[in-house]
Structure 1
Amino acid sequence: MEKLTEKFRQKIAYTSLDFMRGNIQAINWNARLIGIKGPRGVGKTTLMLQYIKSHLRDRLDEVLYVSLDDLWFSNNRLADLVDNFVKRGGKHLFLDEVHKYANWSQELKNSYDDYPNLQIIFTGSSLLEILNARADLSRRAVVYAMQGLSFREYLAIEWGYTTPEIKLPNLLEHHSEIAEKILQDVKPLKYFSAYLQHGYYPYYREEIDLYAQRVEEVINMMLEIELPLLRKVDLAYVPKIKQLLLIIAESAPFIPNVSKISEKIGINRATLLSYLHYLQEVGLSRNLFRAAGGISRLQKPDKIFLENTNLAYILGQPNVGNVRETFFANQLSYHHQVLFPTKGDFLIDGQYVFEVGGKDKSTAQLKEVDAGYIAADDIEYGYGSKIPLWLFGFLY
């Protein structure tokens, strides 16, 4: 345990507090069992370490951070670590990458039940099953989802411009005043293109020249390690999933022809639909449906997107229209329900219909829609129902 403590202290020493994600404010850190799940690379580890350094720095003797993929756990049990930590006065245990530990759910449940004065915060893959794990943690854990940087957060890093996130109803009603206030301090369009290409995953700041390579490495880890580990996908079929991802990257957003794609890849319909579901779960694609209720793993998506615009540039050669729609779907889906409407491009929360396009996009397709809006690229200010596309990057 001393070795783990030493590693933890080293990590804390090198953790920067220069920029902290909005998630830190959104999480109820008083809960006894907190889960943070999300795709690899979105900043879950950094979030935990920053919270420790900013809120628990004066009592580090009561705190321990460990990653469950540490070699220490090849010969030691998590349950024994927890017991030892509590006996030494430990009160706040931070567990990273819990999905890498075979019996994580059962041992977390036991620790929660056996040590009422211990707080446990854990992170895991977006594939993490809290409800269906062998030990049901859904009644005990407060679980938060995390995704990559919003455009608002990217501006905070690159320009130092900070502003609170904007609620969608407020944005729709007061977008002109909000945009005017933002534009007094920063020119969003100056940074928008760079964000779309390489601003989504926080590690872009480390080595921008190696960003694309690192994203591809992360994708391979998701497909070759996480899917086999957490969805029992046979490794022999991983190349088929990669092939499917490249098909999506070349065409997204698009309305899928399941029969043609199945034939092209050489898998049956049910397997294809399962793979499409897995790609969304792991954080590489986004499936849109016309109806919200009763969506199953074997239901055909009505439209498929890549999860974010950075993936679109790294995996394919997207046109500007595809990038705009991918950005909008990504930023809205974090806090809102996004469906594929009969008219328009997106139906948000069952009441707002959006068309996404360039600055000359007209409202012709929204004439019979009650609450219809245009999300227009390449404009600084909006008017009426036409709103700058970049402004939707301020929703989280």
Structure 2
Amino acid sequence: MNSLAATHEILLKERTSSIRRGLMDRINRDSRLIAVKGSRGVGKTNFLLDFSKEYYAGDDSCLYVNTNNLFIVHDGLFHFVERFHKLGGKVLLLDQVYKYPGWDKELRACYDAFPDLQIVFTSSSIVRIKSNPYLKGIVDMYNLSGLSFREFLELETGKCFPAYPFSEMVEKHEEIAASILKQVRPLAYFGNYLEYGYYPVYLEQKSHTDYLLKNINLTLEFDIPYVSQIELKYLKKLKQLLYVVATDSSCNVNISRLSSAIGVSRATVLNYLNYMHNARLLTLLYEEGSDDESGRKPKEMYIHNPNLLNAICLDKVNENILQKSFFLSQLCAVNRMNYTDEADFLVDGQYPVLVCQEGKGRKAQDSVIVMEDMIERGKGHVMPLWLAGFTY
């Protein structure tokens, strides 16, 4: 236990983050069991360390541990937690717990046995937490997204910017944009964000594209098969489908066409799309009132964020799809997004939104919110696209 505590201290000392993730304020610290889900590279480990540093600095009753540790694998998770509790432990931060066999059952046993112990654990975005029979009703779950454009600007400039609900942006976007423009010229940083700014690890990586492609392959080759039990011989089909989606400028979900393109059944295509949606490689859009559990097929599909799209397509990126991917990646973290015939997207069942290049949406009806790229300020129902990056 002493060696684990020493490792915890070393990790905290090495943690030199200059940004505080907004999710920190949304965590219910009174909850006894907290799950932080996220895709590869969004910073789940660093979030646990920052949680420890902010709320339990110098407190020996809080311990960070990676459950891949052989000590835990040998003794068992429950017995490790029991020992930690006996030694006065109060807060346990468990990283990558979902890779431990029977993790959900043992977490439930810990929850029942130690009522004065708080456990915060990280999980892959693929893993279903809320519907898990052992954890249902006792776990508070949070999704950690990649860096918003706002958070990226904070890292790049050292300045602080508030986040705004999309509804407030619609009403006050001219005023909000003016206040931001007093401190920074967002468009000077926007291109870099689209290329590599979504994943905080960009600060440590020299080759952003290589890193992203490696993460994509790890997700497809290890994460998805680990949870979904896909046979290895079908991994090529998953990769083919991801590339087909990335290079499809229509974004329409045509199951028959996709089935023919990669040589699998229609049902398999739907399963693959859902796997990659859960892995945060894709974003699937449904009509309002539908979702992936309704049994209906999605209407549109997009690569989850512009960094992934750039890495997959390289110099073949469709600019309008890139703009839409950015908008979705920013709003999906905090808003309900649906397909609509009226525009490109429907936000929270209330705001139809058109995403386009500068000057392309001026003929849209006033009831449609137009998000235009490459403008600093908007007017009326026309808003600058970069401002969508300030929703979280």
TM over 0.5: yes
* Native 8 Å contact 2:291 2:298 kept in 1: no
Distance in 2, Cα, partners of 1:132 & 1:352: 30
Q: With the length of structure 2 as denominator, give the TM-score of the two structures.
A: 0.96
Please name the residue that 1:16 is paired with: 16
**Secondary structure at the counterpart of residue 364 of structure 1:** coil
- Cα deviation 1:103-131 (Å, max 9, x = unaligned): 11111111111111111000100012223
Q: How does 1:27-106 map to 2 (within 5 A)?
A: 27-59=27-59, 61-106=60-105
Q: 211-220 or 277-286, which moves further after superposition?
A: 211-220
Question: What is the rounded CA distance, in whole Å, between the counterparts of 1:47 and 1:328 in structure 2?
Answer: 24
Structure 1 residue 311: deviation in Å? Answer: 0.6
Residue segments in structure 2 that go unaligned for 5+ positions in a row: none
Deviation at 1:100, TM superposition (A): 0.6
| Residue 202 (structure 1) aligns with | 200
Alignment partners' CA distance in 2, 1:359 and 1:274: 37
Distance, in Å, in 1 between the alignment partners of 2:345 and 2:117 is: 44
Q: What secondary structure is seen at the aligned counterpart in 1 of 2:75? A: coil
Q: For 2:96, give the aligned amino acid.
A: E
Match of 2:374 among 378, 381, 390: 378
Tell me, in whole angstroms, the C-alpha distance in 1 between the residues paired with 2:223 and 2:296.
Answer: 23
Query: 5+ unaligned residues in a row in structure 1: which ranges?
Result: none
Partner of 1:240: 237
Residue in 2 aligned with 1:4? 4
The structure-2 alpha-carbon separation of the partners of 1:132 and 1:180, relative to structure 1 and needing over 3 Å to count, comes to: closer
User: C-alpha offsets along residues 69-127 of structure 1, whole Å, 9 cap, x if unaligned?
Assistant: 22333322001110110111110100011111011111111111111111100010001
Please give the alpha-carbon distance, in whole angstroms, between the structure 1 residues aligned to 2:372 and 2:191: 14
Structure 2 CA distance for aligned equivalents of residues 365 and 394 of structure 1: 24
Cα distance in structure 2, aligned partners of 1:394 and 1:113: 40
Q: Distance in 2 between matches of 1:4 and 1:239?
A: 40
CA 1:253 to 1:34, structure 2 compared with 1: closer, same or farther past 3 Å? farther
User: Letter of the aligned partner of 1:380 in structure 2?
Assistant: E
Q: Tell me the residue number matched to 1:227.
A: 224
Match of 1:213 in 2: 210
Residue aligned with 1:95, SS: strand
2:275 to 269, 273, 278: 278
Residue 6 of structure 2 aligns to which amino acid in structure 1? E
Per-residue CA shift, 1:221-267, capped at 9, x if unaligned? 11111111111122221111011111111125611321122112110
Q: Which moved more, 1:290-299 or 1:31-40?
A: 290-299
Indicate how the Cα distance of structure 1 residues 17 and 264 shifts in structure 2: closer, same or farther if over 3 A, else same. closer
Q: Describe the superposition over 1:290-330 as per-residue Cα deviations: whole angstroms up to 9, x where unpaired.
A: 23235437532211100000011100121211111111111
TM-score of the superposed pair, with normalisation by structure 1:
0.95
| Other-structure match for 2:299 | 302
Q: Distance in 1 between matches of 2:3 and 2:351?
A: 54
Q: Is the 8 A contact 2:147 2:197 kept in 1?
A: yes
Amino-acid identity (%): 36
State the Cα distance separating 1:193 from its structure 2 match.
0.7
State the distance in 2 between where 1:18 and 1:183 align.
Answer: 22
- Report Cα offsets for 1:115-174 as digits up to 9, x if no partner: 111110001000122234351x12111110111010000000001121111011211111
Q: What letter corresponds to residue 133 of structure 1 in structure 2?
A: N
Q: Secondary structure at the match of 1:286?
A: strand
User: Do 1:95 and 1:120's aligned partners in 2 also have CA atoms closer than 8 Å?
Assistant: yes
Contact 1:252 1:304 in 2 (8 A): no
Residue 11 (structure 1) shift: 1.0
8 Å contact from structure 2 (residues 237, 262) kept in 1: yes
| 1:392 correspondence with 2:388 | yes
How many angstroms apart in 1 are the aligned matches of 2:162 and 2:380?
A: 23
> What letter corresponds to residue 69 of structure 1 in structure 2?
N
8 Å contact from structure 1 (residues 273, 299) kept in 2: no
Maintained 8 Å contact 2:45/2:95 = yes
- Whether contact under 8 Å (1:253, 1:304) holds in the other structure is no
8 A Cα contact 1:312 1:318, kept in partner: yes
- What residue identity is the alignment partner of 1:88? L
Q: Distance in 1 between matches of 2:177 and 2:147?
A: 20
- Distance in structure 1 (CA, Å) of the matches to 2:54 and 2:293: 41
Contact 1:344/1:365 (<8 A) preserved: no
Among 163, 183, 186, the alignment partner of 1:185 is 183
Is the contact made by 1:33 and 1:112 (CA closer than 8 Å) also made in structure 2? yes
Give the alignment of 1:306-325 within 5 angstroms: 306-316=303-313, 317-325=316-324
CA contact (8 A) 2:274 2:292 kept: no
AA aligned to 1:36 is: V
Aligned twin of 2:165: 167
SS in 1 for 2:243: helix
Contact 2:73–2:100 under 8 Å retained in 1: no
Q: Distance in 1 between matches of 2:17 and 2:218?
A: 28
Q: How does 1:321-340 map to 2 (within 5 A)?
A: 321-340=320-339
> Hey, what's the Cα distance between the residues in 2 that align with 1:261 and 1:294?
20
Aligned: 1:343 with 2:342: yes
Which amino acid in 2 is paired with 1:56?
Y
Contact 1:252 1:322 in 2 (8 A): yes
